[in-house]
Structure 1
């Protein structure tokens, strides 16, 4: 929750400074978002590659564990497609691009801003933050009414970091491995799906 608040605070600060005209021209005239995106992708790759537990996790990987991230990806994209039918002003591909952020708001919003503009980037940021917050707040209800895998699917890409403690608490410690693998796989797909839907 604290990480989400920090991200939103920086976003709001940037928006206020840009709107007020308090940013120097060289920051606005140069395409810094592209370089920020490159740096962000490098840091994501470095953090995954530097994880000492990665080899151990892959050695324990079973096929049925892969069905959980697959269900999350398919379910999210189907849900995004259904929502696009109710939104007259937003295209199917835009809804799919926002949905394919899978809760990874910091990366997906930068990508979508780069391809679709600030308005869609803001929608992506908001939608994916809401996904994380709902997982954090509603995990006990999800477990009660939909089963122990529900918070993992709802958490999307966040299940290997920010939502992992709440998933461990309510879904059980025996599903920690599933949550980490799920988060890793879904996290890895975000740049590919977002780029695909933004460019078709």
Structure 2
């Protein structure tokens, strides 16, 4: 919960900084967001590279657990398609936003560059809200639907921010599943977002 409030706090602070021009920034001609994103991806790579036991643990996963990210992607995109009927954005734009899987920093930058700042802002808000929802309701979802549902709802965040709450609810045996799930979704975000933005 505290982590989510910090994220929302920085987002609100950034909004005020943009409104009152505290930091000169031109979204049309600046690559600042892109370079910060590259740095974040580099840090994720360092984290993965430092875990010497990860590969061995991933080899022991059964097929049902290996397919969990695929089912999360299918469920999220189906939900995004249904929502597109209710809003004034096209199905491809709605699915591009859904393809963020709570990875708001990456998806919102791609969507802003490919489809404009308005849709990029919507992607940011939707994906931040998904992460906050996951942080708040993973214990309830785990109790009602089990550990795999609790992991699935976290999207790409199961690799980092929601990992502690998943392991606390479901047990340490689901930590590897959670990390694997988050990694697969992390790497699917640029592929799927770019695909749906190009349609």
TM range (shorter): 0.7 to 0.9
Matched, 1:13 2:18: no
Contact kept, 8 Å, 1:155 with 1:163, in 2: the verdict is yes
Contact kept, 8 Å, 1:101 with 1:190, in 2: the verdict is yes
Q: How many residue pairs align between the two structures?
A: 199
Normalising by the residue count of structure 1, what TM-score does the alignment of the two structures yield? 0.86
- CA change 1:61–1:38 in 2 (3 A) is same
Aligned to 1:42: 42
Q: What stretches of structure 1 of length at least 5 have no aligned partner?
A: none
Aligned to 1:197: 196
Q: What stretches of structure 2 of length at least 5 have no aligned partner?
A: none
Aligned to 1:77: 77
User: 1:114 Cα deviation (Å)?
Assistant: 2.0
Structure 2 counterpart SS, 1:103 = coil
- CA change 1:25–1:180 in 2 (3 A) is closer
Aligned to 1:167: 166
Aligned to 1:111: 110
Work out the CA distance in 2 between the residues paired with 1:128 and 1:94: 14
Structure 1 vs Structure 2 CA RMSD: 2.3
User: 1:27 Cα deviation (Å)?
Assistant: 8.1
Contact kept, 8 Å, 1:112 with 1:124, in 2: the verdict is yes
Work out the CA distance in 2 between the residues paired with 1:108 and 1:27: 16
**For 1:121-200, what aligned pairs fall within 5 Å after superposition?**
121-200=120-199
Work out the CA distance in 2 between the residues paired with 1:71 and 1:49: 26
- CA change 1:123–1:53 in 2 (3 A) is farther
Work out the CA distance in 2 between the residues paired with 1:124 and 1:174: 32
Contact kept, 8 Å, 1:100 with 1:194, in 2: the verdict is yes
Normalising by the residue count of structure 2, what TM-score does the alignment of the two structures yield? 0.86
Work out the CA distance in 1 between the residues paired with 2:127 and 2:18: 23
Contact kept, 8 Å, 1:34 with 1:114, in 2: the verdict is no
